[in-house]
Structure 1
Amino acid sequence: MTAERSDTSVAIEDKEVTRPPRLAIDATGLMFWPPGEGLAGIPRVESFLINAALADPDPCVEVVAFRANEGRFRPLAPYEQDHVAAGGISPHHVKRWPGRRTALSQAFEAVRQQPWGKRDADRHLAKTVTNGRKGIAYQATRLLIRAYHLYQRARIRSGLRQDVPSQPAETERGLVLISHHILTQEDRSAVSGGAGDLAFLCHDLIPTLRPDLLGAGTGETRFGSYLEHLVRSGAPAFCASDEVGATLTDHMRKAGVAAPVVYRFPMPSILHETASRVGKTSRIETDEPFVLYCSTIEVRKNHILLARIWQQALDEGVKLPRLVCAGRWGWMIDPLRAYLKAHPELLQSITFTGLVSDEELIGYYRRASFGVFPSHIEGWGYGASECLDFGVPVIVSTAPSLIEATGGLMPAIDPQDQQGWYAAIRRMAQDHAWRSSLAERIVAEQHRPTPAAVSWAAIKAGLQASASRL
């Protein structure tokens, strides 16, 4: 991968790496995701990264999680690897559970090293002893470890042992590519503390640019300041779109922060790659045409615009294909719920599927007549680029990242322009020749799904280049 550099980027080939640095991918965020539940958006991208690192035979690559009680990143325990792994794990990285007795001994040693650990540390250590299994054994182990913590503290207070703060073991210089969870949840101490040299994925700057679309939580109000701290500390940013890289640089300029190092990587076509493995990428003709919008249902995604358009069609006696909204229900959607309640007949024309599996979503892309993506603002817009991956024409909003994600090949309309969207949707539904020409444009312009291996190679090269400059 080459990262263009004006004032914001560096060429990855600038310096040959003479000593392989340690490159770590943070799995803290994915550890909080329920096992077996479908992934979308940022968690899907982070899962790709984690599993690419686990599968990479390079011994300098590892997967870690942040231990708040220690203030540092640690390699995953065996049960944690099992939790996040979706494919094969390289023999260089696989961790075997040492058995309960050895694991308990190791847990006690960790308590001796960190006697002031909190209950989160007890829970983590208990899971390492039981290899992630819950139940009576886990509960008993957790209580035993808590008691041992209290015992060690009592010895310190009574003078029977000297409380010498343990020093973290020296680790090889390198970078940790932190998860989105570190920036948005309680583990921000990894950013503000001395956990090591960091890099970050900048998916978007929506919490800073449009907090009105996300709510007024603490995570949103502090997001920009934490990005600024990262950039001031020299952390490079990895962006899937040129638009986000430029926006990040502009934000730092306005904040009086030197331009960040920005690496651009191609967004992987994860779903299409999954479909390719099982031979399910070809189009499926269906008797009932439908329009697909794949996205979390939240105010930013602008589902209410589509509801109003389908209602307008009903009022005018215009028949539009069924609208299928695939995705979980999210936040700030009271206006949409109120509109649907006031127009109950819409549910005859619009289907909200809720969370769907990858297999179901692949089926929707293969059968959809066309897609829509009227979001107000995006960092990328996975549902739009996935339409092109499956050869499905899609109407997008004029959000720059959406135009970039679809290569400028698809019609783009202002997300506030209801009449413009109504006309384009009617034309796409009724003008078969126009719809076919857009589908042919995807092929003619040689849009190709991006293999996950290509994305991982680009990110790894960027990490190596930055780590070599430490």
Structure 2
Amino acid sequence: MTAEHSDASAATEDGQVARPPGPTPSRLAIDATGLMFWPPGEGLAGIPRVESFLVNAALADPDPSVEVVAFRSGRFRPLAAYEQDHVAAGDISVHRVKRWPGRHMALSQAFETVRQQPWERGTDRHLAKTVTNGREGIAYQATRLLIRAYRLYRRARAWAWSGLRGYAPAPLAETEPGLVLISHHILTHEDRSAVSGTAGKLAFLCHDIIPQLRPDLLGTSGGEGRYGSYLEQLERSGAPAFCASNEVGATLTDHMREAGIATPVVYRFPMPSILHANASRAGTTSRIESGEPFVLYCSTIEVRKNHILLARVWQQAREEGVKLPRLICAGRWGWMIEPLRAYLKAHPELLQSVTFTGLVSDEQLIRYYRSATFGVFPSHIEGWGYGASECLDFGVPVIVSTAPSLIEASGGMMPAIDSNDQAGWYAAIRRMAEDHDWRSSLVERIARQHRPTPPSASWAAIKAGLQASVSRASNA
């Protein structure tokens, strides 16, 4: 681990103004801030899964112009050793691996950082964690107090020299940053400086613009409310967007045009088949038969995902004496689900044929995909729809809603029904369950027309887009 450097200037004992050199900025940086807030060891899904792929692709890339950073104390900074350990899911390139130097050396480096930047606020907590290698407890608290005391001492000493020699602390100077592909966390949290302090030097993954299109499906989250404001601010600064679906890119362009903002620069990248890649490494992609046929819906349980439509379909089947395969809903419970809970409470017998698993491990999810009879994805609106494309990765036919991104994610090969058409979904689910020939024809179509996307191909596309953005900026 190396000590952090600041652009702050401070008067020293010999009356000179100290301007410690900052690290040479990377041309390309992937932001890991969102992953730093994710509990270690907890399964990843959706946006966090994609961001984990990006961070780990960057960590494994031997190209020294690629860096992984986190937003701390008003700047994007390279990860400390304990932060790399927190986010790493594979090998880290030797070009950027950081080893914890031990408590004594880490404390010495923390003191040196404070000596060079006594005016920097908000770094004491991070420096204390570098000394304890991310561990919290009595040692961490004591270290933080010690660093804080030393900072106060250095400030007092610098002010004393400033008064005696007629010097004052110089204002902060901004380091020229590289182009940073920011995490979703930056777009939904309160620190506006994260999107304004380095205007024109940021890029972002645009998973969707659902907060602007369907705010009624997102509740009253302050973070989602900030999303639209930050998005427009980024686009006004010229930040390029990276979209997994053509639909999201087109929708983003239309939205910005309506807001009076110039047409954004949009890069399309193929969504990586992360789960299938994990299964391939483990040799667990082949089909396995389950003891009981079942239908799979892999998604967070929230109002937008429309689980209540499936509950009504399975209840209708029960009332008509039709036996459908068990429905397995894999995913964590989310928000605005009171109507679904009320429906399940009013029809308790549904739980005999519908299972809510909660969050599952990748290993369990792979087993579900390998043995599912078919999948369903009736979401009202999507940016991509990972559960749909993952079904295809494992050769499982899936019924999707007519949301354009879902049709795109399933290659236009699968049956699509309007998300509000209960009768249409009931008929399609019955046919998929009962018509073996039709289901087999869809399986054959997947085998002929679909190939999982290697994560390396997705990383190459994103990296190429970032490099193109850097070239465009330097030639402007």
Is the structural similarity TM-score above 0.5? yes
Cross-structure match for 1:141: 143
Cross-structure match for 1:34: 39
Cross-structure match for 1:217: 221
- Counterpart of 2:76, as a letter, is F
Q: Is the 8 A contact 1:25 1:49 kept in 2?
A: yes
Cross-structure match for 2:305: 301
Distance, in Å, in 1 between the alignment partners of 2:89 and 2:286 is 24
Distance, in Å, in 1 between the alignment partners of 2:171 and 2:324 is 67
1:174 to 178, 185, 190: 178
Corresponding position: 1:282 with 2:282: no
1:163-214 CA distances to partner (integer Å, 9 max, x unpaired)? 524645744x631000000001134321022376000000000111111111
Cross-structure match for 1:312: 316
TM-score by length of structure 1 reads: 0.91
1:334 to 338, 355, 360: 338
Q: Is the 8 A contact 2:162 2:168 kept in 1?
A: no
Cross-structure match for 2:84: 81
- Counterpart of 1:189, as a letter, is S
1:227-278 CA distances to partner (integer Å, 9 max, x unpaired)? 1111111110000000000000000000000000000000000000000001
Change beyond 3 A, Cα 1:312–1:192: same
Cross-structure match for 1:437: 441
Distance, in Å, in 1 between the alignment partners of 2:399 and 2:30 is 35
Q: Is the 8 A contact 2:81 2:133 kept in 1?
A: yes
1:267-306 CA distances to partner (integer Å, 9 max, x unpaired)? 0000000000011101111231000000001111000111
Cross-structure match for 1:17: none
Offset at residue 27 of structure 1 (A): 0.3
TM-score by length of structure 2 reads: 0.90
How many equivalent residue pairs?
Answer: 446
Cross-structure match for 1:6: none
Q: Is the 8 A contact 1:73 1:195 kept in 2?
A: no
Corresponding position: 1:150 with 2:155: no
Corresponding position: 1:102 with 2:105: yes
1:371-412 CA distances to partner (integer Å, 9 max, x unpaired)? 000001100000000000000000000100000000000000
Change beyond 3 A, Cα 1:300–1:415: same
Name the SS for the 1:468 alignment partner: helix
- Counterpart of 2:460, as a letter, is A
- Counterpart of 1:400, as a letter, is P
- The 5-angstrom pairing of residues 386-465 of structure 1 reads 386-445=390-449, 447-465=450-468
Distance, in Å, in 1 between the alignment partners of 2:34 and 2:420 is 34
Distance, in Å, in 2 between the alignment partners of 1:226 and 1:92 is 33
Cross-structure match for 2:61: 56
Distance, in Å, in 2 between the alignment partners of 1:375 and 1:132 is 39
Q: Is the 8 A contact 2:295 2:325 kept in 1?
A: yes
- The 5-angstrom pairing of residues 243-254 of structure 1 reads 243-254=247-258
**Bigger relative contact order, structure 1 or 2 (CA pairs below 8 A, ≥6 apart):** 1
Structure number with larger C-alpha Rg: 2
Name the SS for the 2:207 alignment partner: coil
Distance, in Å, in 1 between the alignment partners of 2:340 and 2:159 is 58
Name the SS for the 2:38 alignment partner: coil
Offset at residue 153 of structure 1 (A): 4.4
Distance, in Å, in 1 between the alignment partners of 2:306 and 2:206 is 23
Offset at residue 155 of structure 1 (A): 4.7
Offset at residue 158 of structure 1 (A): 6.3
Q: Is the 8 A contact 1:72 1:195 kept in 2?
A: no
Change beyond 3 A, Cα 1:252–1:304: same
Percentage of pairs with the same residue = 81
1:397-441 CA distances to partner (integer Å, 9 max, x unpaired)? 010000000000000001001110011001111111111111111
Name the SS for the 1:62 alignment partner: strand
Distance, in Å, in 2 between the alignment partners of 1:295 and 1:363 is 16
Distance, in Å, in 1 between the alignment partners of 2:146 and 2:67 is 31
- The 5-angstrom pairing of residues 9-48 of structure 1 reads 22-48=27-53
Distance, in Å, in 1 between the alignment partners of 2:168 and 2:423 is 70
Offset at residue 148 of structure 1 (A): 2.6
Q: Is the 8 A contact 2:162 2:169 kept in 1?
A: no
- Counterpart of 1:44, as a letter, is R
2:237 to 218, 226, 233: 233
- Counterpart of 1:132, as a letter, is G
Q: Is the 8 A contact 2:287 2:371 kept in 1?
A: yes
Distance, in Å, in 2 between the alignment partners of 1:284 and 1:98 is 47
Offset at residue 142 of structure 1 (A): 1.2
1:25-69 CA distances to partner (integer Å, 9 max, x unpaired)? 0000000001111000000000000000000000000100111x2
- The 5-angstrom pairing of residues 115-130 of structure 1 reads 115-118=118-121, 120-130=122-132
Offset at residue 109 of structure 1 (A): 3.2
Corresponding position: 1:361 with 2:365: yes
Offset at residue 111 of structure 1 (A): 2.9
Identify unmatched segments of 5+ residues in structure 2.
1-24
Offset at residue 159 of structure 1 (A): 6.8
Distance, in Å, in 2 between the alignment partners of 1:94 and 1:365 is 35
Q: 73-82 or 97-106, which moves further after superposition?
A: 97-106
What is the root-mean-square deviation in Å for CA atoms of aligned residues? 1.8
